[in-house]
Amino acid sequence: MNILVIGGAGYIGSHMVKFLHRAGHDTVTYDNLSNGHADAVLHGTLIEGELNDRSHLDEVFASRRFDAVMHFASLIEVGESMREPARYYANNLAATLTLLEAMRNAGCDNLVFSSSAAVYGKPPTAAVSEDQPPSPINSYGRTKWMAEQMMSDFAAAYGLRYAALRYFNAAGADPEGELGERHEPETHLIPLVLAAALGRRTNISILGTDYPTPDGTCLRDYIHVWDLARAHLLAVERLFSHGECLTLNLGNGDGFSVRQVIDVARRVTGREIPVAECPRRPGDPPVLVADASLAGKLLGWMPEYPALEDIITHAWRWESSRATIN
């Protein structure tokens, strides 16, 4: 297959490009490099371009026939989305409309979209299934939910076939150590914990120690980035074989607490990781864990790396190799 990977220079997209290459597919990565890295695109062609640039997208679609598009491009910081909603609606929603129009114009009907557990907001149940009605509580989550609804309307009216994949916490790194997470600034727990292990941060803040959870800290679902990549390829194959649109959670199904993440990171790295216990952050649900059984049923997908040890070991290999280079 020929796959156009929008946002393929970012964390998850760059792993996807490598995964597709391994599976024998060709890729063109289209990324404005606002948060991505050209040297993370290890295979195929990289085109530097802005998603909201319709004429550039039309040129790309005219240059070859794409069997499917995978769309990872997005601004991803929840707090920033509340301070600067206009940027988020322009980048995540309006640009997605531009992409949908360019795809329609080019006759490319298959799309896999990076959605998020943020569409659920603060769900009342611990293990969230796709039946849970979306109710996002921040602008970032609303852009994802609105994009899903837009795709659904395009499917009904114009025959778009899409898979909206709602990831929980993407984590880990390429098991071979070539790629990893390089967000700047970093807001995700595991890379921050590993930065503390490397002495790049003085400590790691635990935001709330009085939640109704076994150790008082929040429980989250960490899903290995390589498992996410595999689910995307299975989703495209399912779009081809069955034709119907999909909305699926992608998660581990297991909740790990902040303290568990820090303890496993101490074991894996063999380093001290100082912590600072802080008050809760408003808006954080105590537990957010995926019920990803539908992805298992429809795609035959099961995480290959569900263990927190593996996720942190792979992330550590990446972080520590960067530490030697820098």
Catalytic residues: 140
Rounded least distance, CB 143 to ligand NAD, Å? 9
Rounded least distance, CB 147 to ligand NAD, Å? 9
> For residues 106 and 216, which CB has a smaller minimum distance to ligand NAD in the complex?
106
User: What span, in angstroms and rounded, lies between the C-alpha atoms of 102 and 59?
Assistant: 10
Rounded least distance, CB 292 to ligand NAD, Å? 13
The reply on whether position 143 binds ligand NAD by CB under 6 A is no
The reply on whether position 167 binds ligand NAD by CB under 6 A is yes
Candidate residues 4, 5, 7, 208; the one interacting with ligand NAD per rule CB under 6 A: 7
The reply on whether position 11 binds ligand NAD by CB under 6 A is yes
Query: What are the backbone dihedrals phi and psi of residue 239, each rounded to the nearest 5 degrees, phi first?
Result: -60, -40
The closest residue (CB) to ligand NAD is: 10
The reply on whether position 139 binds ligand NAD by CB under 6 A is no
The reply on whether position 36 binds ligand NAD by CB under 6 A is yes
User: What span, in angstroms and rounded, lies between the C-alpha atoms of 128 and 32?
Assistant: 33
The reply on whether position 32 binds ligand NAD by CB under 6 A is yes
Give the relative orientation of helices 11-22 and 225-242 as an angle to the nearest 10 degrees.
60
> For residues 152 and 209, which CB has a smaller minimum distance to ligand NAD in the complex?
152
> For residues 131 and 184, which CB has a smaller minimum distance to ligand NAD in the complex?
184
The reply on whether position 73 binds ligand NAD by CB under 6 A is yes
The reply on whether position 183 binds ligand NAD by CB under 6 A is yes
The reply on whether position 116 binds ligand NAD by CB under 6 A is yes
Rounded least distance, CB 222 to ligand NAD, Å? 9
> For residues 73 and 311, which CB has a smaller minimum distance to ligand NAD in the complex?
73
Strand partners, 6: 30, 71
> For residues 35 and 110, which CB has a smaller minimum distance to ligand NAD in the complex?
35
List residues binding ligand NAD (CB under 6 A).
7, 9-13, 31-36, 50-52, 72-74, 76, 91, 95, 114, 116, 167, 169-170, 183
